[in-house]
Amino acid sequence: MSATASAAPAAPASVTVPPLNLPAAYAELREELSAELLAVAASGMYVMGAKVTAFEDALRAYCGCKHALGVSSGTDALLVAMMALNIGPGDEVIVPTFTFFGTAGTVSRLGATPVFVDVEPDTYNVNVAQLAAKITPRTKAVIPVHLYGQLADMDALLAVARPRGIPVIEDACQAIGATERADGGRMAGCFGEFASLSFYPTKNLGAMGDAGALLCNDDALHETARLLRTHGENPRYYHRLIGGNFRLDAIQAAVLTIKLRRLEAWTAARRERAATYTHLFVEARLAPEVIRTPVERRGRHTYHQYVIRAPRRDELTKHLTARGIGWGVYYPLPLHRQDCFANLGYQAGQFPVAEQAALEVLALPMYPELTEVQQRAVVEAIRAFYHA
């Protein structure tokens, strides 16, 4: 044990740290939420309606984008965006290989072809130079993902996409509230034609079930997306387009409207906890000696996840589980190596940065309710593994 590490007060071995603590977030808002949930129950208006419109208005104002459409999930937001852009068989959509499955699965569901590219080694966001090299006349959209809560390199990406007239769909499912500068500027969702947000319960703004939103900065595309959300109908039972049921429930909108007011405070709390982790890792001589802590390269990182790079990661996770410390691996297999995309003909080793990341990334418990005692227990458990 190093002198520096032993100077830090050791956390009691009995401290357990769950990977998430969703009931705590509910407890904080219990009275406000309960009243709203009962009001929706009594109203009889369960799908769409005034609660959804009110949430869309609040969300649009918060994000600073032109339009916001409440939809059934983040995945469906991506799907509706591509349907509005008429993407289908014969079209290509460029996506990073290191992301949640939905980013690329939605492309395939429309009969189009996801074209994978590698990511940057420090932010895990799309490598824009590689993306530029993959553009063909069939490229109908590009989907940068703001992974873990940090913006992709949107200046570079827009410089590639705009002159070629290629629509940009931001996958902002993990990045609500991320801004281009530490002190503000444009928010995630304001750069492209479209942006998807997810309100899956574990996201920074979480519903009590599935929910999402489609942000849009173009009037005509927004109107098309709005029709597609409800089977392309206007007026009712007259269908101009073939859409689907991508509607948002009133109960989710009511919950999200209340929680949105807390989001800035929660983001600040996440950022404080990220700074604490990084400080503790340096103090324990784990960073930069053994592990790598997250970098903040572009603007305000919202720390949807606090992700370290850890050698011998899979052994480390067993050690953490044994000590009651939660963790997550996002993601263990890049998309170009997934069985369902085998027909696309990608090879192992083709995207070395993503493949190495898949072996090393480790997300630590990160939520506004996380205490410093718990954070010390996490760091102490990792120190005990490497400096045994």
Shortest Cβ distance from residue 246 to ligand PLP (Å)?
11
Please report, for residues 89, 110, 152, 383, the alpha-carbon distance to residue 93 in angstroms, rounded to integers and kept in the order given. Answer: 11, 11, 17, 43
CA distance 61 to 47: 22
Q: How far is the CB of 56 from ligand PLP (least distance, A)?
A: 17
- Pinpoint the alpha helices (H) of the chain: 3-7, 22-28, 30-43, 50-63, 74-84, 102-109, 128-133, 154-164, 219-229, 250-260, 263-283, 313-322, 352-360, 372-386
Minimum CB distance to ligand PLP smaller for 117 or for 173: 173
The CB-of-146 to ligand PLP minimum distance in angstroms stands at: 8
Is the Cβ of residue 13 or residue 340 nearer to ligand PLP in the bound state? 340
Smallest distance from ligand PLP to CB 264, Å: 21
Residues within the interface to ligand PLP (CB under 6 A) = 73-75, 99-100, 102-103, 145, 171, 173-174, 198, 200, 210, 212
Residue 226 vs residues 78, 215, 233: alpha-carbon distances, Å: 13, 11, 9
Residue 36, both tokens:
């709203």
Strands 212-216 and 306-309: unpaired
Cβ-closest position to ligand PLP:
74
Q: Tokens at residue 281, please?
A: 């890792």
CA–CA separation, 230 and 76 (whole Å): 12
Q: Which lies closer to ligand PLP via its Cβ, residue 284 or residue 364?
A: 364
Q: How far is the CB of 388 from ligand PLP (least distance, A)?
A: 34
Report how many helices (DSSP H) and strands (DSSP E) the chain contains, helices first.
14, 11
Q: Which is nearer to ligand PLP, 152 or 221 (CB)?
A: 152
Q: Which is nearer to ligand PLP, 113 or 198 (CB)?
A: 198
Question: Rounded to the nearest whole angstrom, what is the least distance from the CB of residue 314 to ligand PLP in the complex?
Answer: 22
CB nearer ligand PLP, residue 99 or residue 139: 99
